[in-house]
Amino acid sequence: MTETTNGATTGADEAKQLAAELAVLEARTKLTAARTAALSALAPGVAGGSTGEVTVGAKAGTLGPLLAHQVVNETADAIAAAAAVAAKVPGPSWHVLVTTDANLLTADVQATLSRTSLTERSTELARLIEVVRTAAETLRAAVDDYSRDERPSPPPPAPPTARDATSADATQAAAPAEKAEAKEPPAGSALGTAVQLVQLTATDFSVSAVEVSADSALLATLTATALGPRAGTENRVTLDGFEVARAAGPTLAALRDLAGKVDGLTAETLALRQLVAPVAAELADRKAAAMSAQSAWADAVADKDVTADRIEMLKAHLERLTAEVARRQAAVGPAQAVVDTATARLDATRAVVVALTTVDAAGISPLARACAREALHTKDGHPVTHVLHVRPTQVGADMVTRRSVLGSSGRVSYLGSASASWALLRVADGTLVGGAQHQAKQLVHDLSTGDVWRPALDVVQQKHTSPTADPQAAHERQIRLAVLVLAFGVAALGVVSALRLVFS
């Protein structure tokens, strides 16, 4: 009995000792967790702190396009200044045509061909008018001749109406790569808290591309307007396509002349057709009568009962009708051929005019292009002495923001840049000069005060001056140092607490 009692007492004491040690371990664990939570409270929201990453956002910002267009304007002004110097030639004045069309030769050749086509068609129709008039006179004379020799014929049928010829007028979204999730220590541990505190010392920069709409037409417009004041009163500047048609110009003059020839030939052809119609009707009647006479004469010859006098009379009638058919055929054949030729030429001419006045995908017709290029060759008025071709090679704007341990900065920076090439052609001898212009500007917007200013930035000389320092950035170095010291202390305290738990 004694041994049993002592053994039971020893087991109970061991159980109590184990329970006491477990309670001490739980208390230490709770204490460590409480200390970690208290240290974490020193930097609330550390889990959402800056990560030091650079992100590219979607298009945003309203001052970006403004800055970019200002840069384009300054680029155009620089091109105008250079072109004004290069355009100085001996003589009383110069006339510069500003264009974005690099295919000047092709456009000029097409314009010349268009004017030539109008002139050639006009000359051709003028000759046809004379041919039609001659054919009408010849037909009248032929009709008069056989009308005097023959007995009166029935009145001709009413002439058909003129055939109306008509023509128909030709009508950044790439999905960002998913960020690999970094494996970090648990947020509740002292080491995790220290790491998150260190992350607070990083600075995030966000660079967002701002959508900018600046095409060749804008650069050409700005260049022409910048070159205008430099031209003075003696010189001229023309923006390609932005002008009125010169009524006295060779292109429209050729078109008016052709329109007059079309009207004249149409009227003469109608008159000739009216002369041809009754003669053609008589010819058809005479052919029908001649066929009947031929049949009657053949039947009479085959019939033995018909007398020789009757056969001779039928033969004479057939010969008379055959002669009448021949005379009318000789009179109306050439005239009808002239009518057919004139009608075909009128249809072809109308098709040419339709093609010249039909606009292309750019909304410009060949006739308009011919009007725009005629000043390159005219000797009257103010002929174009130089052609200035401009082309933007790059236009863009960026918006830059920053975020650090103190939060987002109250300043937003906009960067705008533009590059453009230009070439100046002297029409008289083909001399070519040119170059390129590069401009870059910066604009800073203080969100707290609303102030906006432009620091000087010369991309060519690589010089710049900065605005007043960001007040937030002035204190970031000291705060980063304090956060690093705090993070080191939290990490050291976490390590000591862990060692005490292990060896206690």
Residue 157's pLDDT band (cuts 50, 70, 90): very low
Beta bridge partners of 182: none
Residue 3's pLDDT band (cuts 50, 70, 90): very low
Closest to 311 in 3D by CA, of 293, 336, 292, 324: 293
Say if residue 344 is in the same domain as residue 228: no
| CA distances for 404 relative to 37, 40, 191, 317, 324, angstroms | 24, 19, 22, 121, 112
Could you tell me the two tokens for 380? Answer: 């009257």
Return the SS3 of 174: coil
Share of the chain above pLDDT 90, in %: 22
Say if residue 149 is in the same domain as residue 128: yes
Domain extent for 267: 104-155+247-371
Say if residue 133 is in the same domain as residue 266: yes
Examine residue 16 and state whether it is found in any structural domain, yes or no: no
Closest to 257 in 3D by CA, of 379, 389, 118, 396: 118
Question: Which H/E stretch holds residue 361?
Answer: none
CA distance 99 to 369: 12
pLDDT score recorded for residue 306: 84
pLDDT digits (tens, 9 = 90+) for 347-375: 999 999 999 999 988 888 999 988 888 88
Say if residue 345 is in the same domain as residue 288: yes
pLDDT score recorded for residue 475: 55
CA distance 356 to 369: 10
Say if residue 423 is in the same domain as residue 443: yes
CA distance 138 to 353: 32
Give the pLDDT mean for 449-463.
59
CA distance 273 to 222: 59
Q: Does 198 or 17 have the greater pLDDT score? A: 17
Pick the last residue of a domain from 371, 405, 437. Answer: 371
CB-CB contact of 487 with 197 (8 Å): yes
Examine residue 186 and state whether it is found in any structural domain, yes or no: no
Pick the last residue of a domain from 327, 343, 371. Answer: 371
Mean pLDDT, the chain, integer:
75
CA distance 5 to 14: 15
Residue 502's pLDDT band (cuts 50, 70, 90): low
Look at the block and give the residue holding tokens 């029908």: 288
pLDDT score recorded for residue 203: 56
Pick the last residue of a domain from 371, 396, 428. Answer: 371
Q: Does 308 or 149 have the greater pLDDT score? A: 308
Examine residue 275 and state whether it is found in any structural domain, yes or no: yes
Examine residue 484 and state whether it is found in any structural domain, yes or no: yes
Say if residue 393 is in the same domain as residue 493: yes
Say if residue 233 is in the same domain as residue 268: no
Closest to 414 in 3D by CA, of 60, 52, 74: 60
Say if residue 221 is in the same domain as residue 251: no
Closest to 286 in 3D by CA, of 329, 332, 334: 329
Say if residue 280 is in the same domain as residue 352: yes
pLDDT score recorded for residue 414: 80
pLDDT score recorded for residue 121: 93
Q: Does 81 or 22 have the greater pLDDT score? A: 81
Say if residue 388 is in the same domain as residue 298: no
Task: Tell me how many domains the chain contains.
Answer: 2
